[in-house]
Amino acid sequence: LADAGRAAALGPDALDLARGAAIAPRGRPATADPARNLVVRRADDGVLGIVVDSGGLAAAAAQPDALAQIAPRARPMVLPTGAPPPAGVRVLATVPLGAVLPHLTLAIVNDPTDPDPLDDVIASRSRRHVGLTVGLAAVLALGLLATIRGAARERELARLKSDFVSTVSHELKTPLTSIRMFAEMLEQGVAQGDADRTARYHGIIVQESQRLGLLIANLLDYAQIERGTRRYRLARASVAAIAQDAVATFRGLREAQPSNDVVVAVSPEAERTTALVDRDVLIQALLNLLANAAKYGGADAPIRVEVEQVAHEARITVRDRGPGIPAAEHERIFREFYRTAQAYSAGVEGTGLGLALVKNHVTAHGGRVTVESAPGKGAAFTIALPALDHEQST
């Protein structure tokens, strides 16, 4: 080792290391153990660099392939610690040589004309930053959109609520006015001696009070649902019997008008179908569907109520042959206070609460309510509830 003398001058440790080390031509490992390889280089200024590889960069320095991974044409160079790099080289990385050679630093360099690997790093980081920024901007935009939508929905709800107040006042006033009018006529003896007329007036009073009753029941229900205080008294009941009861009540309600022809059809397998329900609530939900079928389908239009069991579901469908509902409205009509433009333009009175309540009640029973309808094709609303097994019901 020609320069062992110089190494010795650097200190006893360096000499020990130099003695135990293998010497290899520059850039090639001398032994399989990289920790024992030395890279010896005589710099132009005559400084002998002894690089003791303790892993990492020095091992890389001994392996041209590894260096090539850092940058094309990267090479090791020993530089005086703290000195600026010589002209004509670009320092890519440095590592101190430690206590043995504190005044020397191992540098990995390439030529300034070669590509700078830092550019790649910066480019990939900036790509990542751009990705992140775009991602954040997208999240912000979505949030903003949700807020705007939420605000629009709030405004819409406020408008619907204020429409609702005037509609409800009107809805309450109409039956009350007829009740008072016909009651006064009876009181004044307008129909005296005319049994038919008297019966008709009484019928109107009964029907209008029942209409008022359904409206008030809906309003109370809505208030309870809003407050979250609605409770259900669930009991096992025959679904077909409930449908029949609802229709009987409905016929009673419409007694004084040309009656809709209401048919109840129970499929054979649904005869014994039972479900866990709050009977009064389910009847009220069906009354809402029947009232809609009559309101929108016309007072003389036939209404069909079908009771079926499909798989584990008990289904009650109220079908009318009215004007139907466009597909675009199918989801909205179940929202509270929502009424279609057709309902307004046809002058049909209502609060927009009926279907929202039906949906709420049916969902609370673990069921679902669906609509099948197209303009001119009538409408079919189906309440589907989980059916109990026949064995359970006996």
Binding site for ligand ADP (CB under 6 A): 288, 292-293, 296, 320, 322-323, 325, 333, 338-340, 342-343, 350-356, 379
The closest alpha carbon to 211, from 248, 168, 170, 172, belongs to: 172
The residue among 205 and 291 lying less far from ligand ADP, judged by its C-beta, is 291
Residue with the closest Cβ to ligand ADP?
A: 350
Nearest approach in angstroms of CB 373 to ligand ADP is: 7
Q: Which of 299, 277, 393 is nearest to 346 (CA)?
A: 299
Task: Rank residues 274 and 373 by Cβ distance to ligand ADP and give the closer one.
Answer: 373
- Rounded distance between C-alpha atoms, residue 321 and residue 293, angstroms: 8
Between 173 and 180, whose beta carbon lies closer to ligand ADP?
A: 173
CB 61 within 8 A of CB 38: no
Structure tokens at 165: 């107040």
**Phi, psi dihedral angles at 352 (to 5 degrees):** 75, 15
201 vs 381 by CB, closer to ligand ADP = 381
* For helices 354-364 and 279-297, angle between their N-to-C axes, nearest 10 degrees: 150
H or E element: which one contains 41?
A: strand 37-42
Q: Is residue 107 within 8 Å of 85, Cβ to Cβ?
A: yes
User: What is the smallest separation between the CB atom of 247 and ligand ADP, expressed in angstroms?
Assistant: 16
DSSP string, 299-367: TTS-EEEEEEEETTEEEEEEEE-SS---GGGTTGGGSTT---HHHHHTT----S-HHHHHHHHHHHTT-
The nearer residue to ligand ADP, 98 or 375, going by C-beta atoms, is 375
Least distance (Å) from ligand ADP to the CB of residue 368? 16
Q: For 137, how many CA atoms within 13 A lie in the half-sphere containing its CB?
A: 6
- State how far Cα 97 lies from the chain centre: 58
Q: Which is nearer to ligand ADP, 15 or 305 (CB)?
A: 305
Q: Which is nearer to ligand ADP, 178 or 218 (CB)?
A: 218
Residues in the chain: 394
The minimum distance between CB 186 and ligand ADP, in angstroms, equals 30
- Using CA atoms, how far apart are residues 382 and 314, in angstroms rounded to an integer? 10
In the complex with ligand ADP, which residue's Cβ is closer, 29 or 354? 354
Q: Give least dist CB 354 to ligand ADP, A.
A: 3
